[in-house]
Every structure is written in structure tokens, then in C-alpha cells.
Amino acid sequence: MNVFFRLTAVSLVSLLPLHASAGEVEVLHWWTSGGEKRAVDTLQQLIEKQGHTWKDFAVAGGGGEAAMTVLKTRAVSGNPPSAAQIKGPDIQEWGELGLLGNLDEVADEQGWDRLLPPQVVDVMKYQDNYVAVPVNVHRVNWLWINPEVFAKAGATPPNTLDELFAAADKLREAGYIAIAHGGQPWQDATVFESLALSILGPQEYHKAFVDLDSKVLSGPGMVQAFSALAKLRGYIDADAAGRDWNGATGLLIDGKAGMQIMGDWAKSEWTAAGKVAGKDYQCVPFPGTQGDFTFNIDSLAMFLLSKGENRRAQEDLARTVMGSEFQEIFNKNKGSIPVRLDQDMSSFDACAQRSMADFREAAGNDGLQPSLAHGMAASSYVQGAVFDVVTNFFNDPKADPERAARQLAAAIAAVQ
């Protein structure tokens, strides 16, 4: 899910007050839900502690579509913001337009190449120069569980897809919604990519959704993933269509459902409800993806600025975002984990600690993979093509998995 916001900052470039120059930083974002808003407030507080002024400009709506519209209007008019929440391959597209600034000096100063996994470094650079700063890391392939509901139904947390469906059967038989879901294209794709990762494994997943290999996209593994999606659909309640993700999380919190397949931003809803990780709710890697990690990274891309004082303020923003203090406070509020590999996780909850352990492990092998559903793996055109095929399949009880896999490969080929 994407967001953009406005800030105004003062860059203190001298110890002498007479030489201090006030710079402005505008940042577009779409962090507007309760937990997200608290997370943004932490950045504002840290910027203001440095003497900077902050003007927030949140553009609400979906996964950032409305914010992107605002950003394009500003950029076309020759008045882009200082920074904007831009993700994944979209950073490269803005870089190709020649509109992004250079953060190499700040990156060298703080040692970003050492602090970040190479998979993340690649996303933040354009033509080998840092043009964006990562704010956090969301793990997408989580399964959320209400342990009280599981206990009442006699179900156990699943480690495999067969165990997932066995638990779902027990939950349904006990009168609960087995899998809480919101029938929106991005949510359908979130479920599908976790199934695909579980069945294909990280290497074939990468071939399918990053390399866009037509043989894998239309192959037997993808057919199996669609078959699993069709089976999973049977455990979702009839009122799921159009439901927001946090509404689905609420069904778990209220004890009406047993499981939800969703990224770790769902944790912010549990936190806001006063629930404790590992006690009131459980987080387990999606069955079959233990040790793998599909990531969704929020990042701020920095635009070219003409005024020196604004560039200095922009650099201060980047330094603050990558600082350990901000990374801790922000991610505790957001439900995500810090992007720094050296972050002390002792004060984080059990889910965040498990997430960081898996993040570090996956960063050293093929297990760290970008989320297609959340704009990290491929262009928005490819993402849209996948959404169409997956959602059409998901909403058609008579849909054929083999035909869906062929449609997936054809739809992606058509937009390349």
C-alpha cells in the first residue's frame, strides 16, 4: 500500500544561529489510518527536535493512487515536492525522467551499503546512485491467528498448506469464519502470491514475478497455485466483497474469525486494540514459506531541488529516517520492522523479533523476495495485469486453474 506527504524543515548548517538557514521539505504520503498516522507523527517530532518546521500533506486513498495523481500534477508543473513516498520499480521510472536527487553523500556518511541488504540497496538506487531512503520493511507473507478461536475449534497453527486447510475445516465446523478476507484486488493478490511462494519456492517465484518468465507463469506450479486459491476461497465468508483489510483484521480481534493472510501492517490494528503479540494473537509465516520473506518497503524518493537550504533540509530528513531512533519508534507504531540490519530488536514484540530474524536470514539467500501485490516486484502495469487475472479467477467459482495460468502469462506479456 503507497503514501505521500509534505514537510517543512529548517536545516541548522552552522553552530552560529545567525548562519542557520531555514529550508522547506515537502513530502507526499498516504499514511492516514490510526497506526500509520501515529507512525508519521514520530517523524514530525524528530524533525522538529532538530529545529525544523513540518507541514504534513497526507493524501488519503487506497494504496496511494490519489497521492500519485497529486505527485504527477506537481511534477508536470515543474514544482515537485522535496520527497514523496514512492516504491519499488516506480523509483526507477522517476529516475529515468531525471527528476530525482542524489543521496550518495548521506548514504556514505551513514554507511547505507553496510546497513542495508543488497536486495534493498538495489531498490533505493538509480544508475548506482542512491535516490531514495527506505523507511521500513513490511513482511507480506504472514498468517495471523486468534489463538482463543483456534483453541475453541480444536485447531492448531499450520506449517503446511494441507495443515492450513485442515485448520480451516475445524474453524468452519465450529461456526467461525475460517479465513477473514477483504474482497479487493490487492488483497486477493496478497493471498495469491503467498500461495505461489509456498508452492513455487523463492527461486521460481522470482522467475515468475520479477523475471516475468512465461514458462513459469503458465507452468504446473502456477496452475497448482490457482487451484489452491480456488480451494481457499471456500473458507471465506459471503460478506468479504469490498471489505477493507482492517475490517478483516477486526473479525479476528473480535473473535469472529480464526485466520487472516496479510502483511504485518495488520499488527498495528491489534496494537491499537490493546492486544499483545504471542498472547492475544499469533503471527506465523504463511505455511510453506518458513525462512522466506516477501517484502514491501515504504521509501521516500528525493526530488531535485534548486535551493541549497532546501537540499540541506532534505538531507537532514534522509539522515533522520535512517537513524536508529526513528527506525525504532516508527516501526513500533507501523507494525513493520526497521530496515537496518544492525537494529537492536530487544524492545520489539515477539512478531517483530521473528520478522527481523527471518529478514536477516533471507537477506543472505534467495529467500528475500519483493512482493508483487505491493508494487515491489514489477511495474504497475504488470501488477495491474496480475490483479485482473487473479481477482477474476477468485470471483468465478467455475474458473479453470490451467486457463487462469495461461491468462496470467498472456496478460503480463501484453503489458511489457
Work out the average pLDDT over 223-227. Answer: 98
The share of the chain scoring above pLDDT 70, in percent, equals 94
CA separation (Å) from 169 to 158, 182, 249? 12, 20, 20
pLDDT of residue 252: 98
Q: Are residues 133 and 280 in the same domain?
A: no
Residue type, 415: V
In a domain, 362, yes or no: no
Q: Are residues 94 and 175 in the same domain?
A: no
pLDDT of residue 47: 79
Structural domain count, the chain: 2
Q: Are 311 and 303 in contact (CB under 8 A)?
A: no
Q: Are residues 313 and 286 in the same domain?
A: no
Q: Are residues 82 and 223 in the same domain?
A: no
What secondary structure does DSSP assign to 128-150, as a single string?
TEE-EEE--BEE--EEEE-HHHH
Q: Is the pLDDT of residue 9 over 80?
A: no
CATH number, position 103: 3.40.190.10
Q: Which of 323, 351, 379 is the endpoint of a domain? A: 351
Rounded Cα–Cα distance for residues 274 and 51 (Å): 33
Q: What's the pLDDT tens digit per position in 264-317?
A: 999 989 988 999 999 999 999 999 999 999 999 999 999 999 888 889 889 999
Task: Give the three cell numbers for residue 338.
Answer: 526497521
In a domain, 358, yes or no: no
Q: Are residues 281 and 307 in the same domain?
A: no
Work out the average pLDDT over 159-183. Answer: 98
Q: Are residues 117 and 188 in the same domain?
A: no
Task: Give the highest mean pLDDT range of 57-61, 74-78, 398-402.
Answer: 398-402
Q: Are residues 231 and 375 in the same domain?
A: yes
List, in sequence order, the alpha helices (H) in 259-303: 267-272
Residue type, 387: F
* Residue 376 dihedral angles phi and psi, to the nearest 5°: -105, -20
- Consecutive H or E run containing 201: helix 185-209
Q: Are residues 263 and 404 in the same domain?
A: yes
In a domain, 325, yes or no: yes
